[in-house]
Amino acid sequence: MEQKITSLLNWLHTSPEFYLNENVTINETEASGRGVVLCKNKLVKNDLIISVPTTHQINFHTVLYHISKFNPDLSIPSVTVNEGSIDIDDPRNEAYSILEQDFLLELTSFQLLCLYIIAEWILLPVWSNDATVSYWKPFFDVLPAKEELRSIPTKWNLMDASPYKPLIPFLSDASFSHTERISKLVKNDWEIIAPILLTWNNMFSHKVKDVPSMEELYLEYLHVYFVINSRCLYYEIPIKKNKDIASNFTLVPYVDFLNHVPEVGEHCYPSLTTTKHETELKAFTIRCGEKGYNQVGEEIFLNYGAHSNDFLSNEYGFVLENNEWNFIDVSEEILEMTEGNLETISFLKENEYWGDYTINFDDISYRIWVTMSLIVTKDIRRVEKFIQGFISEDFFRPKIREPLIHLLSSLKKKYEERIINLTQMRLHDINDTWCIDNLLIIYNDYLYILDHHISALGEINEK
């Protein structure tokens, strides 16, 4: 890896605008892959740590620019070039010529970046018999390998041959619905880009050996999708700005080595440089946060957001011990209690209290208080007053305390059973326990949250 990082830095330094603070370096660990650490001196608040110019970022804008180098039909003001390819033997002249401007502009950033990265990273070496090297190769060379992202549940769901499929029934409700949602997005994007990949395969299969099959390309696509998903950073793309909010992101080499930390607002922060023109892209800059760093070897972090372990597992493939942002989604259990009670159901729906019931360490959500109060008392008039703030939850607490303890205790039993089952499975699979361990961490934290509330509700009774 050291050699690859050196090549990455040499490539980044081809731009005079690239900056890397000399006090930081890359360290690799089993637990979190590559990360940025302090190697000497110290960093204090607002110190510039990294700045990566637009020439070395992959996003909707820069991809169109690079494709246009091989497709002179593309003409998007302030984005494309009209120079024509320098090398007439470059297979991308033919491959990218089938990409029509209207089609490209309709794609989302995910679709375009997946297509482009598969072309440049996976297909170009095949199309050219390794004779043509992508501009982005030093970046591709430091991206995670497939095994490093094997713990993402959506991959278990979408890969026929995933050895982790037996774990899907053991996902928490929050993780399962997250997985279902992302699976739909991934499948939809595949439907959009697969026809282009198929055309490329037909174009090159009689010219070169070892063109990957569509099944192989699908696996590459899944990997590229989650490489992008786990490393993209929010960034305004002028041509997407007001049309497609989800497409406003960029990939930034080196900045994407920063690992996540749960504390919000203490570690590094991104600050975008200003530009003269609206259509111009900005360098991506990372500065030191409030906390500062002064211990050599100390890891320099970025907070990816206030994310629970269920979220981190699904988006990034890792979980944290003692993650303060964890919560339990108890929607299914509470909605089950309303079954057959049409009056309760329609009241909750009309008042927008239907579903989305969560419990974290500090709170049982207000939505749960309202809904349980109605389920238990069936007193619509008083619950309406509760919603309007005329009655406090103290009125309902004695009435719903027992059913609430019952609910939490039955959840506790369910999660304890899952922990027993997962621990059994772990014994049979001692060589690769990572995915199971992530689920165990999630459930053990659920138990910690439940125990806290069960004992708090019990104490109320004793008083």
- Which stretches of the chain bind ligand SAM, using CB under 6 A? 31-35, 144, 230-231, 256-257, 259-260, 316-318, 320
Output 316 or 415, the one with its CB closest to ligand SAM: 316
Is 45 in contact with 265 (CB distance < 8 Å)? no
Q: Which residue is nearest to ligand SAM (CB)?
A: 33
Minimum CB distance to ligand SAM, residue 368 (Å): 30
Minimum CB distance to ligand SAM, residue 231 (Å): 4
Looking up tokens 């361990």 gives 437
Question: Rounded to an integer, what distance in angstroms lies between the CA atom of residue 316 and that of residue 230?
Answer: 5
Question: Rounded to an integer, what distance in angstroms lies between the CA atom of residue 268 and that of residue 271?
Answer: 10
Minimum CB distance to ligand SAM, residue 109 (Å): 17
Minimum CB distance to ligand SAM, residue 152 (Å): 8
- C-alpha angle 410/452/360, rounded to 5°? 85
Q: For residue 20, what are the β-bridge partners? A: 50
Minimum CB distance to ligand SAM, residue 394 (Å): 40
Output 189 or 256, the one with its CB closest to ligand SAM: 256
Output 230 or 247, the one with its CB closest to ligand SAM: 230
Minimum CB distance to ligand SAM, residue 397 (Å): 38
Is 447 in contact with 412 (CB distance < 8 Å)? yes
Output 260 or 367, the one with its CB closest to ligand SAM: 260
Output 27 or 55, the one with its CB closest to ligand SAM: 27
Output 156 or 353, the one with its CB closest to ligand SAM: 156
Question: Rounded to an integer, what distance in angstroms lies between the CA atom of residue 91 and that of residue 218?
Answer: 22
Output 322 or 421, the one with its CB closest to ligand SAM: 322
Minimum CB distance to ligand SAM, residue 41 (Å): 23
Minimum CB distance to ligand SAM, residue 312 (Å): 8
Output 120 or 256, the one with its CB closest to ligand SAM: 256
